Chains A and B, each alone.
Chain A
Amino acid sequence: MELNKLTAHELIGILNKGDILPIDICNTLIGAVRKKDQGINAVVHFDDKKPVERCKALGNDKSGALWGIPIFIKDNICVKDELTTCSSNILEGFRPPYNATVIDKLLCSGAVLMGKTNMDEFAFGSSTETSCYGATRNPWDPERIPGGSSGGSAACVAADEAIFALGSDTGGSIRQPASLCGVVGLKPTYGRVSRYGLIAFASSLDQIGPIAKDVEDAALLLKVIAGHDDMDSTSVDMPVPDYPALIKQDIKGLKIGVPKEYFIKGIDPEVKQAVRSAIDKIEKMGAVCEDMSLPHTEYAVAVYYLVATAEASSNLARFDGVQYGMRPGQVTSVIDMHKKTRQQGFGSEAKRRIILGTFALSSGYYDAYYSRALKVRTLIKRDFDEAFKKYDAILTPTSPTPAFKIGEKVEDPLTMYLSDIFTISANLAGIPCVSIPCGFTKAGLPVGLQILGKAFDEETVLKIAHHYEQATDWHKRRPLT
């Protein structure tokens, strides 16, 4: 039995029987990372002594929901005393003095932290090519990108270097890489999971969520990390449902909308066909699917790249060479230090987004760009409010194309931004959604189905995802790595 190929819920069953110990799983993963990651570059901070020590210290109290289960963490989530760099030179050597709330929750549940995964610098990207550690490769085709920005987390799960992982999603950064790597990725409702200790990109859009091999594992992990936190006043004080149990409930009679704006010219025909077949399958399972419209969809990318960059320009002002991270040697003044630190520390995409965001917020342009974008965001949110009066969930493709080639869109930021066209609206509206595998192209690249739901109704999207998964075997296919 190859333990690295199992899911967390399968491993929990075996651990409970006492047939294996946490250290057995841990050692198997260490072996898998050593063997495979050189070709994939999904893991950027990895000190194998730490998880081994953790396994030894775990003891025998198996009461935690994730006792002995290893997990990888995206490099923008703070882990006390462990390198946390957002895959950016500007945070070179940074070791946070505290844990993110999700990390404390994982440790309380008995999980074993394995290491940090590669990402687009500060989560700015859709391909994991803007990392200061170099691009991550897609395990299904090493010439292609894994998606982004949580490309490291998605790739290590797809390659069976990991059981599951945490990512973060500001405009699709969990769902799009999950889709392109053939795994499950969930963006929870804004406010469902504490953002304390997540290094902020766009504070009104960011959410932490699971990337896993099946829906049951995503539900299990969401239950552990969700809930109100005093340290994040935007986390909402609502009870956390028992997701792993609720996903098994019936989906018969659910009303599902299929928005025509997501099946436009330009979408890859093989993606379109795979998603259409998945919708047919869900309909045959007893849900009622209906064509409908989200009329302001075409404005989502424009709104997002003003709102998200404006928030980023403000959040990233803290990286100035004073309190943490790198600082160049020769500077003539404090302002010179700020400018040189940011010139040398940030990569091109980070600079481009900070400048765009600063522009959208600056005097003379604020009304035409930032303020107007927030008003159009209202229209996008209203589209969903109206739709969810009638429908329990919405089905769309996650990404308009399968994984593209490394280097294909690097020189053309706008084309890169348009690869998020189907994922961005959910962040602007704050709603939960999951991407699950729903087929493969002829060239063998995974295709993802996106299921969007009402705010704080993760159980419905997970339930539909789980039932579809039970009736198919796309999620069981693995690349040759």
Chain B
Amino acid sequence: MAITKDTVKYVANLARIGLDDKELGDFTKQLDRILEYVHKIKKLDVSKLEPTSHVLEMKNVYREDRVKDSLPASEAMKNAPAKEGNLFKVKKIIGV
């Protein structure tokens, strides 16, 4: 086994995804098969290789520090599922 139910459960929690029992069982089986497949990269010697996180030959990109118009708060808030004034509204976080 490349992955167990407990690991899937643990990782799903890290990713903040709720799973029901059927999903947990199915995903464990499917992810196990996928990981078995990707294990083929283990047979290569990578000790002398640099990682490629990005294909472009660029590092930092700078621009002039200019003031530009930004989105009005009312526009930025337009899609919020719950709001109060210009604030996103969620359940209480502190002191629960």
Same complex for A and B? Answer: yes
A346-B17, A362-B14, A413-B34 known; A371-B27 Cβ under 8 A:
no
Q: Is the CB of B27 within 8 A of A331?
A: no
Partner of A378, one of B18, B39, B52: B52
- Determine whether the beta carbon of A305 is less than 8 Å from that of B38: yes
* Alpha-carbon gap, A82 to B11, bound state (A): 35
A429, B28: Cα distance in complex, Å: 31
Q: Does A49 contact B (CB under 8 A)?
A: no
Most buried by A among B18, B80, B82: B18
A325 located at the interface, meaning its Cβ lies under 8 Å from any Cβ of chain B in the complex: yes
Main secondary structure of the interface of A (DSSP, over half): helix
- Contact across chains for B17 and A378 when beta carbons are under 8 A apart: no
Assembled-state Cα–Cα distance A94/B55 (Å) = 32
- Tell me how far the C-beta of A423 lies from the nearest C-beta in chain B, rounded to whole angstroms: 16
Known: A322-B90, A358-B15. Is A375-B51 also a contact (CB below 8 A)?
A: yes
Q: Does A306 contact B (CB under 8 A)?
A: yes
Instruction: Please name all residues of chain A whose beta carbon is closer than 8 Å to the beta carbon of B80 when the two chains form the complex.
Output: 322-324
For A109-127 the 0/1 string (1 means CB < 8 A from B) is 0000000000000000000
On whether the beta carbons of B50 and A375 are closer than 8 Å, the reply is yes
| Cross-chain contact of A379 among B49, B55, B58, B71 (Cβ < 8 A) | B49
Q: Is there an interface contact between B17 and A342, defined as CB atoms closer than 8 Å?
A: yes
Most buried by B among A230, A335, A355, A359: A355
Among A93, A321, A359, A368, residue most surrounded by chain B Cβ atoms (within 10 Å): A359
Chain B residue with the shortest CB-CB distance to A327: B81
Task: Let me know if B30 and A414 touch, CB within 8 A.
Answer: yes
What's the nearest-Cβ distance from chain B to residue A191, in Å?
Answer: 5
Q: Are B79 and A320 within 8 A (Cβ)?
A: no
A478 in contact (CB, < 8 A): no
Whether B15 contacts A355 by the Cβ 8 Å rule is: yes
Q: Would B50 and A362 count as touching, CB distance under 8 A?
A: no
Per a CB cutoff under 8 Å, which of A301, A354, A414 touches B15? A354
Q: Which residues of A contact B65 (CB under 8 A)?
A: none
Contacts of A93 in B (CB 8 A): 79
Contact-residue size bin, chain B (C-beta under 8 Å from the other chain): 35 or more
Which A residues from 252 to 301 make CB contacts under 8 A with B?
Answer: 298-299, 301
Binary flags per residue of B23-61, CB closer than 8 Å to A gives 1, else 0: 100110011011001111110101001111111101001
Number of interface residues of A (CB under 8 A): 70
Beta-carbon contact of A204 and B55 below 8 Å: yes
B28 — nearest CB in chain A belongs to which residue? A355
Once A302-B38, A327-B81 are accepted as A-B contacts, the answer to whether A378 and B50 lie under 8 Å apart by CB is yes
Shortest Cβ distance from A345 into B: residue: B17
Q: A417 to B34: give the CA distance in the assembly, Å.
A: 9
Chain B nearest CB, measured from A161 CB (Å) = 29
Q: How far is the CA of A219 from the CA of B55 in the complex (A)?
A: 24
**Complex CA–CA separation, A305 to B82 (angstroms):** 35
A38 within 8 A of partner (CB): no
Measured CB to CB, the nearest residue on chain B to A348 is B23
Partner of B42, one of A191, A372, A381: A372
Which of A38-83 touch B at CB < 8 Å? Answer: none
Across the interface, which residues of B come within 8 angstroms of A339, CB to CB?
Answer: 16-18
B21 within 8 A of A: no
Chain B residues within an 8 Å CB radius of A190: 55-56
B46/A376 in contact, CB under 8 A: yes
Q: Are A303 and B41 in contact (CB under 8 A)?
A: yes
**CB of A243 to closest CB in B, whole Å:** 21
Q: Is the CB of B88 within 8 A of A97?
A: no
Contact A414 B34 (CB under 8 A): yes
The answer on a CB contact under 8 Å between A358 and B14 is yes
Q: How far is the CA of A295 from the CA of B96 in the complex (A)?
A: 57
Query: Is A27 an interface position by the 8 A CB rule?
Result: no
Check if A233 is an interface residue, CB within 8 A of chain B: yes
Q: Are B17 and A429 in contact (CB under 8 A)?
A: no
Q: How distant is the Cα of A430 from the Cα of B34 in the complex, in angstroms?
A: 24
Set of chain A residues within 8 Å of B30, measured between Cβ atoms = 352, 413-414
Further contacts, 14 of them, CB under 8 A, given A204-B53, A351-B12? A97-B71, A190-B55, A233-B61, A236-B58, A321-B81, A327-B81, A334-B93, A342-B15, A342-B16, A348-B26, A359-B3, A359-B11, A373-B38, A375-B50
* B contact set with A: CB distance below 8 Å: 3, 7-8, 11-12, 14-20, 23, 26-27, 30-31, 33-34, 37-42, 44, 46, 49-56, 58, 61, 63, 71, 75-76, 78-82, 88, 90-91, 93, 96
Q: Ordered nearest first, which 5 A-B pairs have the shortest CB separation?
A: A430-B55, A374-B51, A343-B18, A324-B79, A233-B61
For this complex, 17 residue pairs linking A to B, each with C-beta atoms less than 8 Å apart, are A97-B75, A190-B55, A190-B56, A204-B55, A234-B54, A236-B56, A322-B88, A324-B80, A352-B30, A356-B31, A358-B14, A368-B42, A376-B44, A376-B46, A378-B50, A414-B30, A430-B56
